[in-house]
Amino acid sequence: MHSTTMVIAAGSIVASNSSALKGKALLENGWWSGESTDTSLNHCMWFGIKCNDGRSAIEIDMAGVDPVFYLGDEGDKFSKLNFSSFPNLVYLSVSYYGLRGSILVEIGTLSKLTHLDLSHYHLIGQLPLSLVNLTKLVKFDISFNGITGSIPKEFGNFKNLLELNLSHNKFTGPIPSTLGLLTNLSNLNLSFNEINGSIVSEIGLLKNLLNLDLRQNKLTGPIPLSLGHLTNLVSLSLSSNQINGSIPQEIGNMKNLNGLFLDNNMLIGMIPSYLGHLTRLVFLFLDFNQINGSIPLQIGNMKNLRYLYLNNNNLVGQIPLTIGHLTKLETLNLNWNMISGPIPTELANCSLIKFLSLSHNYLNGSVPSWVMKLYAPIKIDLSYNNLTGNVPSSFINMREFNLSYNSLEGQVPIGFKNYGFEVFIGNKDLCSDIKARLLDPNSSNQTLVVGTYGYIAPELAYTMVFTEKCDVYSFGVVALEILMGTHPGELLTTLSSSLSLSSSRNMMLNEILDQRLPPPNRIVARDIFFVATIAFACLCTKPKSRPTMNWVSQEFLSRKKPIAQPLHAVSLWQLKNLENYMVGDIETQS
């Protein structure tokens, strides 16, 4: 009896000493500096730690915790973590912990790890190859960091992996074909990196994949036909790459697809009719491509569609009547195409529409009066078409609309007096008496300068002569503000000073762009160059040298391709000189 008691007591002492040693090791890591320094206390009670029956840490969950309290303010302590202290660790999450550091090779010793979440951690450097020793991993999330280098081909060893998220880093190089070995994978996210090359066909082997996100990379080549094997896929995002070719018919096999995002690429060909098989689709984004042909009738089969973006393509033909079957539709964007014919009355069945944009097409017929049947419309843009007839009074309750640059006629109903004149401008047979009151210097009405400081043309500071060129200047300010992400007042002051020549020669276009946005791809860079050229033309200090709004609109409609130069090679001086050339050219022709 006494010997048994002594054995138990001895065992308790050993366990106590072991626990104290583990607690001491944890404190030495510097991760729990806010806890008691008494290592005899149970470290398993510390925040974020979960232990097994042997008081060995099996989980560390510090996600979203204030790192200052637990880690102090000494900076990088991730690389100081002694991984040998956690031989039984299966779960490690320090996402949103807000510290900086790099991943040590020793992390590969955590052979029992199944969940590793280092997202939003400001990690830098390359991934250590020792990670491939973590063969039991089920989830690996290292998104929103600064990891560089290529994706290791050895990742194909993660046979148990269900979720792999490497998004929002600085990975380069191609997608390794060995990812096709991860046949249990349900979520693969490589978005917002600098990955190049083509989409490897081996991705089609991931039969259990639910979400595939490769957007915002530098991927080229066509969409591989093997993606059609991913019949369980719920979301496919290939947006903002340089993918070319046509949309393969195999996409129609993805019957469970909820979101299809192929926008901002270089896709050609027609919208395939077999997309009508995707009856569960809620999001369809095909905008900013080079797709031609007409909108297929089968689009009406997508009864669950809520967001349809086909804008900025080369679509022709009429809007199909079957679009009225999309009764759940909330956003329809068809602008910047070459669509003709009337606006179908069947659209009235889509009573949930909040945003309807059909601008910059060749639509004809009358402005639809059925908008009054819409449940809660927010914005309707029908500008830059060939619509005729009167302005329907049903638009009075609209929060925001645009009917400019059509062929409307007659008087604007009195209920529209609170709307800006710009929503009707460009209809030569509409509101002529209003235009006369605004601009006729002999009118008995008083002319007052109304506008926001920083957007008003500079000549209005010393003259009350109000012309269309004043509005042109304001347009230029707004256009430049969109590109810069801030008001360009300081820039305009610098460029108008005596140092303007040297300043504009040394300042490059890419330097004034909104730095919060990712670097633009080739297509976006081309559009930025074009918009910047128009903006500087509108901002000419001499009113007579500015273009007319009609010329500006025609320039946008002409879809001219500007000089193919990288943005860092284009100076503001070049833009100002190009602007003078363009305006001079148009004045010569007029």
Q: What's the CATH number where 311 sits? A: 3.80.10.10
- Residue 27 tokens read as 């404190």
Positive or negative, the CA dihedral 83, 88, 90, 91 is negative
At 433 the pLDDT is: 45
Does residue 92 sit in helix, strand or coil?
strand
In this structure, the answer to whether residues 429 and 465 fall within a common structural domain is: no
Based on the fold, state whether residues 413 and 468 are members of the same structural domain.
Answer: no
Pair (506, 557) in one structural domain:
yes
Question: Mean pLDDT for each consecutive 10-residue tract of the chain (590 residues)?
Answer: 41 47 60 54 76 87 60 54 82 75 88 93 90 95 94 95 97 98 98 97 97 97 97 97 96 96 96 96 96 97 97 97 97 96 96 95 94 86 94 84 91 76 82 45 43 57 60 85 84 63 65 80 79 86 79 74 62 65 38
Note down the domain range covering 298.
268-438
Same domain for 310 and 404: yes
Are 484 and 398 contained in the same domain? no
**What pLDDT, on the 0 to 100 scale, is given for residue 18?**
53
- The letter for the amino acid at 480 is L
**Do the strands 115-117 and 139-141 form a parallel or antiparallel pair, or are they unpaired?**
parallel
- CATH assignment of the domain containing 567: 1.10.510.10
**pLDDT score for 298:** 97
For residues 366 and 382, what is the distance between their CA atoms, to the nearest angstrom? 11
Asked whether residue 396 falls in the same domain as residue 502, the answer is no
Helices (H) and strands (E) in the chain, counts: 10, 30
Phi, psi of 509 (to 5 degrees): -60, -40
- Residue after which a domain boundary falls, among 408, 438, 468: 438
Residues 277 and 413 in one domain: yes
Residue 339 and residue 334: Cα distance in Å, rounded? 8
Q: Please tell me whether residues 389 and 471 are part of one structural domain.
A: no
For 26, 62, 99, 355, the CA distances from 78, given in Å and listed in that order, are: 13, 12, 8, 47
Neighbours of 578 (CB within 10 A): 18
> 284 is written with which tokens?
């369809």
Task: With respect to residue 314, please indicate whether it lies within any of the assigned structural domains.
Answer: yes
Residue 334 lies in a domain: yes
Indicate whether 466 belongs to any domain: yes
Whether residues 300 and 359 fall in one domain = yes
Assess if residue 538 is contained within a domain: yes
Q: How far apart are CA 550 and CA 225, in angstroms?
A: 45
Q: At what angle do helices 522-538 and 468-484 cross, to 10 degrees?
A: 150
Q: Strand pairing partners for 150?
A: 172
Residues 425 and 502 in one domain: no
Measured distance CA(578)–CA(580) in Å, rounded: 5
Q: What is the pLDDT of residue 65?
A: 60
Q: What does each C-alpha distance from 222 to 107, 225, 248, 267 come to in angstroms?
A: 38, 9, 9, 8
Q: Could you give the CA distance from residue 143 to residue 145 in angstroms, rounded to a whole number?
A: 6
Residues 425 and 538 placed together within one structural domain of the fold: no
CA distance 314 to 337: 5
Chain Cα centroid distance, residue 227? 23
477's tokens: 């300010």
- How far from 228 is each of 277, 279, 433, CA to CA, in Å? 13, 16, 60
> For residues 94 and 125, is the Cβ–Cβ distance under 8 A?
no
pLDDT of residue 97: 61
In a domain, 208, yes or no: no
Residue 3 lies in a domain: no
Q: Is 115 part of any domain?
A: no
- Any residues with CB less than 8 A from the CB of 378 and at least 6 apart, and which? 354, 355, 399, 400
Q: How many domains does the chain have?
A: 2
Range 434-440 contact pairs with CB under 8 angstroms and sequence separation of 24 or more: 438/466, 439/466, 439/467
| Dist CA 257 CA 30 (whole Å) | 47
561 falls within a domain: yes
In this structure, are 342 and 491 located in the same domain?
A: no
- pLDDT recorded at residue 525: 79
Is the whole-model pTM more than 0.75?
no
